[in-house]
Structure 1
Amino acid sequence: MPQLIVLGVQDRDTADRALEIGAELDKRELLHLSDAAYAYQDGKGRPRIHQTVNTTGMGAAGGALWGTLIGLIFLNPVLGLAVGAATGAVAGKLTDIGIDDDMIRQIGSELEGGRCAVFLLADVETADRVVEAFKPLDPTVIQTNLSKENEEELVEALRS
């Protein structure tokens, strides 16, 4: 079962680096990343979310494919493509997979001083190597769904 770990980092550049580290660890099969994102506040203090999975784009592509196929059946592939892409984009926009967007926004609204919250939903295979990879970013643990004991171990490992 994937664990959710939310790390606080200094800024958006560090958050981008954290997502790159997560992707690299996933490629090396040290963890299996299901979803990742980060939250920050814009210049007006509103929480913003940077997602790694674009459900709108995926929905539009799938809708365009199905719309074209249906359009071919009814001898109007261009109309089918347009309707399918629009329908797929709307469906993709309304789809929430992985980490709950409301939780991301809520934590993002509590950030101060340009800080970011990095959200990782992953199955961790080798915890010690994953912790070592993230340690240079000097993150703080904001929230996890780990057991209390495992969360305390994570906090200590990132401090030392």
Structure 2
Amino acid sequence: MAELVAVAFDNQQEADRVLTELNRLQKEYLIELADAVVVIRQPDGKVNLKQSMNLVGAGAASGGLSGAIWGTLVGLLFLNPLAGFALGGLVGAGAGALSGSLVDYGIDDNFIRTLAEKLKPDSSALFLLVRKAQPEKVLADLSQFRGEVIRTSLSPDQEARLQKAISGAARAASESQV
């Protein structure tokens, strides 16, 4: 089961930096993300969403490939497979791009926008759908960032550990022990 985590940051760049770190951790198999969205609230209050998955491009690519295959097969029936390949590829790519733009994969965009309206101007947030994680290692790496947990589906204990890690409390405790 995937867990939802939403964390707010005081500046526009911090959410991107955290996502970059999480992508690095994902390559090390310490965390598996199902979806990630960076939200930036501009100084004028406008909200921008940056999806981690480009569904339009993915839909166009897969639709183009399947359309080209089917177009070639239909073209063989009419003794013109090259025209069928080209026409099928174009139609498939268009249909795939359209379906990709209509699909909302992962975290619901309306939910994200509702929470993003509560962010203060000139700030950012990171919305994650986490499939699996090694909590101790991930939290240790995230302790270099400062943020505030705004919504999770984690247990109260897990949420408190996450908030402690990204609030700087964990870093202050380790520095006092040195």
Does residue 80 of structure 1 match 2:88? yes
- Give SS of 1:12's match: coil
What's the counterpart of residue 67 of structure 1? 67
What's the counterpart of residue 136 of structure 2? 128
Structure 2 counterpart of 1:108, one-letter code: A
What's the counterpart of residue 99 of structure 1? 107
Task: Check whether the contact 2:44–2:121 (CA below 8 A) recurs between aligned residues.
Answer: no
Task: Check whether the contact 2:9–2:124 (CA below 8 A) recurs between aligned residues.
Answer: yes
Tell me the distance in 2 between the aligned counterparts of 1:80 and 1:44.
Answer: 45
Tell me the distance in 2 between the aligned counterparts of 1:40 and 1:105.
Answer: 10
Structure 2 counterpart of 1:150, one-letter code: Q
Please identify runs of 4+ aligned residues in structure 1 that moved more than 4 A.
none
Task: Check whether the contact 1:12–1:115 (CA below 8 A) recurs between aligned residues.
Answer: yes
Structure 2 counterpart of 1:149, one-letter code: D
- Give SS of 2:131's match: strand
What's the counterpart of residue 173 of structure 2? none
Tell me the distance in 2 between the aligned counterparts of 1:39 and 1:24.
Answer: 20
Tell me the distance in 2 between the aligned counterparts of 1:158 and 1:12.
Answer: 16
| Residue 101 of structure 1: how far off its partner (Å) | 1.4
What's the counterpart of residue 57 of structure 1? 57
Task: Check whether the contact 1:107–1:117 (CA below 8 A) recurs between aligned residues.
Answer: no
Task: Give ranges in structure 1 of 5+ residues lacking alignment.
Answer: none
Aligned residues: 160
Does residue 152 of structure 1 match 2:131? no
Structure 1 48/73 Cα, relative in aligned 2: closer, same or farther at 3 Å?
same
| Residue 125 of structure 1: how far off its partner (Å) | 3.0
- Give SS of 1:137's match: coil
Tell me the distance in 2 between the aligned counterparts of 1:42 and 1:73.
Answer: 51
Structure 2 counterpart of 1:101, one-letter code: D
Structure 1 77/42 Cα, relative in aligned 2: closer, same or farther at 3 Å?
farther
Q: Deviations over 1:44-99 (max 9, x none)?
A: 53321101111111000011011111211222222111111110001111112211
Q: Deviations over 1:98-149 (max 9, x none)?
A: 1111111112222212111101111343212212212222111111001223
Structure 2 counterpart of 1:51, one-letter code: Q
Structure (1 or 2) with the larger CA radius of gyration: 2
% identity of equivalent residues: 33
What's the counterpart of residue 9 of structure 2? 9
Counterpart of 2:118 (choices 110, 115, 126) is 110
